[in-house]
Amino acid sequence: MTDQSKGLESQSLESKSFEPQTVSCPALFLSAPGSGDGKTTFTAALARYFKQQGKIVRIFKTGPDYLDPQILAQASGQDVEQLDLWMAGEEYCQQKLFEAAQAADLILVEGAMGMFDGDPSSADLAARFNIPVAILMDVKGMAQTAAALVTGMANFRDDVQVAGLIANSCGTERHAELIRNALPESLPLLATLPRDPAVALPERHLGLVQAEEVREELEQRFNAGVDWVAGNKITELPAPVEFHSAPVPTVEPLLKGKRIAVARDIAFSFIYDANLRLLQDMGAEYQFFSPLNDSEIPAADALWLPGGYPELYAAQLGKNQLMQESIRAFHDSGKPTLAECGGFLYCLETLTDLQEQQYPMLGLMGGHGAMRGKRGCQGMQTAVLPEGDIQAHAHHRSRSEGTAEPISYGRRQRHAAPGEAIFREAGLTASYLHLFFPSNPAAIAAVFNGTFEKAEAGLFESSLEKSKAG
């Protein structure tokens, strides 16, 4: 029997021997007709309410979001995971919910955009794991129409269980009564929330402001949010939901002994906890450093420059010459660097901020970055690399120009046009794409190990052509 046959037989035996476990935990999925109805504000307030009651609240955020989880983690006092059926996979999502249910008194899942938007959508995630959905709707300027809209949403799909309506921006008791009386008995009015600017979360061009920047202000808003939701039926624990364990793939120690320097401060904070855990599981040690405040990177075998808000701190980044010299020296040594979105902009020669001021960046690769107001790119893409495909997403409001020819392009989830350009110069791999490491641990390990044999052997051309063709 060949080694490959032995491996397949072993995997088959492991699959047959797996017996899923089941645990129950109260759970609620919070969705809305669209963005801007107040999902994160309400989820944070509800989590803080139950936290003050002594409950352990675990929150999950639908989709590839960095900012909302920061807010929700502070509100709940617990780590917040991203769940996405396309990016992470069904079994990954299943296992994370199971692990949370083992320790939590309540699981909350915040949806993304509108309930049925995207493929997969929030409704797909709620249906797959049988989590009842509370629809949060800003009802300002409507009454019975709100009931009509939520009734339509509740009946749009047979596999989604809608628990009821949360009416945000509900002006008066009469306003609430009009909505309540128009709802069918199967759709109760779970909560009525008055307009209250004291609970609204601060925002900027890519979404909410990072929690680290406004921690004290957030605490005030969370505490105001507790009063905002108190006295509503929504503050009763929902019914328990059964969650089942999933087969957990074995993670090989592909980065054993490797030291990885990871940029993390208020300019570079878009980091999935799942990515950090995977690096550890593969045997790596990582150490954070601040491109804003430190003078050099820590001793490392590889460097990771994640996304964030370099455009807001471009002047400070440009003035930190010691840090720039340290990163350039690391790059010149030939060691591998992964730069994502904001980290990619940092690697260019210059960056022009929202006030059209230009600042010098690292210059690890040719090209210039510039902010462009409300225009940008977002969406799910697969990063097509010589080492293998990695699930990813893009979310930026900037452009780059003057860069060299990319080695590849992201493959969009549902669109034929080429996605984000992917660059590789010496040991640097750079792109606007944010990578979800657990989607391909072997490829990520190869990037951080700096082993690019596949590209050198000419085995990448067909994959590159596919990425260009969409």
Q: What are the catalytic residues? A: 341
Residue 213: partners with Cβ closer than 8 Å, 6 or more residues away: 266
Residue 86: partners with Cβ closer than 8 Å, 6 or more residues away: 119, 120, 380, 391, 413
Q: Is-contact 201 159, C-beta < 8 A?
A: no
Tokens of 193: 């929330």
The string of DSSP codes covering 394-406 is EEESEEEES----
Tokens of 325: 């010299």
Q: Is-contact 395 205, C-beta < 8 A?
A: no
Tokens of 217: 């202000």
Q: Are strands 189-193 and 162-168 parallel, antiparallel or unpaired?
A: parallel
Whole-angstrom Cα distance, residue 65 to residue 458?
35
What is the 8-class DSSP label of residue 264? -
Tokens of 200: 């609204």
Q: Name the residue among 39, 32, 77, 84 with its Cα closest to residue 58.
A: 77
- What is the maximum alpha-carbon separation in the chain? 76
The 3-state DSSP class for residue 417 equals coil
Whole-angstrom Cα distance, residue 169 to residue 439?
40
